[in-house]
Amino acid sequence: MNVKNAQYWISNLGLSPHPEGGFYKSTYESTTFISDSQETNNRKLYTSIYFLLRSNDISHFHRLKSDELWYYHGGSALTVHVIDVNGDYKEIKLGLDLEKGEKPQVLVPRNTIFGSSVMEKDTYSLVGCMVSPGFEFEDFELFRQEELLKEYPQHEQIIRKMAYGTNE
């Protein structure tokens, strides 16, 4: 059996480093546009990417103005760390081991602060992410520890793990 590692997928799918951490490649942008009542311009109905995270990578805490659906493709299971709009923290497991509470598809609602990490050491997780309305970098908000700790001091441990620090 030919075991594929993270570098195989990064090279063969043409993935590039993502600002939040990990690697990605845009795979599809809808040719249908919609008008959101909160937006002044038309938006793509949806966009989709491949996203790969290695065990030593973190997808740092960030927020989008759109819903994001995550689809598990391969490798190890992934933990999606969420601070919802009410300030509550939870972990969602993305993977195929239903008996361990993993789900093959996860929704991160708009305006949710979230990041992700690989559950196992020395491996990777390959997922797909679809954003609707379509992803725009101006809707992408990346957080630093200081700003999240002011608002959510009760989640200090996970914020220190999942948000950029002062030296990064």
Q: Is the pLDDT of residue 150 over 90?
A: yes
Q: What is the pLDDT of residue 168?
A: 56
Q: What is the pLDDT of residue 40?
A: 58
Q: What is the pLDDT of residue 94?
A: 98
Q: Which residues contact 24 (CB under 8 A, 6 or more apart)?
A: 15, 16, 18, 49, 50, 51, 52
> Which of the pair, 130 or 138, is modelled with greater confidence?
130
Q: What is the mean pLDDT of the chain?
A: 93
Q: What is the pLDDT of residue 1?
A: 44
Instruction: Show the CA angle centred on residue 22, arms to residues 45 and 14, nearest 5°.
Output: 70
- Full-model pTM: 0.91
Q: What is the pLDDT of residue 56?
A: 94
The token pair that represents 27 in the structure block: 């795979």
Q: Is the pLDDT of residue 92 over 60?
A: yes
Q: Over the stretch 99-108, which tens digit does the pLDDT of each residue have?
A: 999 999 999 9
| Edge-first strand listing for the sheet containing 59-63 | 89-94, 78-83, 113-118, 59-63, 141-142
Phi and psi angles of residue 13, each rounded to the nearest 5 degrees, phi first:
-95, -5
Q: Which amino acid is at 84?
A: D
Q: Under a CB-based contact definition with an 8 Å cutoff, are residues 168 and 58 in contact?
A: no
Q: Over the stretch 27-54, which tens digit does the pLDDT of each residue have?
A: 999 998 888 666 557 889 999 999 999 9
DSSP H or E run through 85: none
Mean pLDDT of 84-101: 97
Mean pLDDT of 136-164: 95
- pLDDT interval class at 123 (50, 70, 90): very high
The pairs formed by 154-163 with CB atoms below 8 angstroms and a separation of 24 or more are 154/87, 155/83, 155/89, 158/81, 158/89, 159/61, 161/58, 161/117, 162/58, 162/60, 162/61, 162/81, 162/115, 162/117, 163/60, 163/61, 163/115
Q: What is the pLDDT of residue 36?
A: 66
DSSP H or E run through 104: none
CA–CA separation, 132 and 5 (whole Å): 30
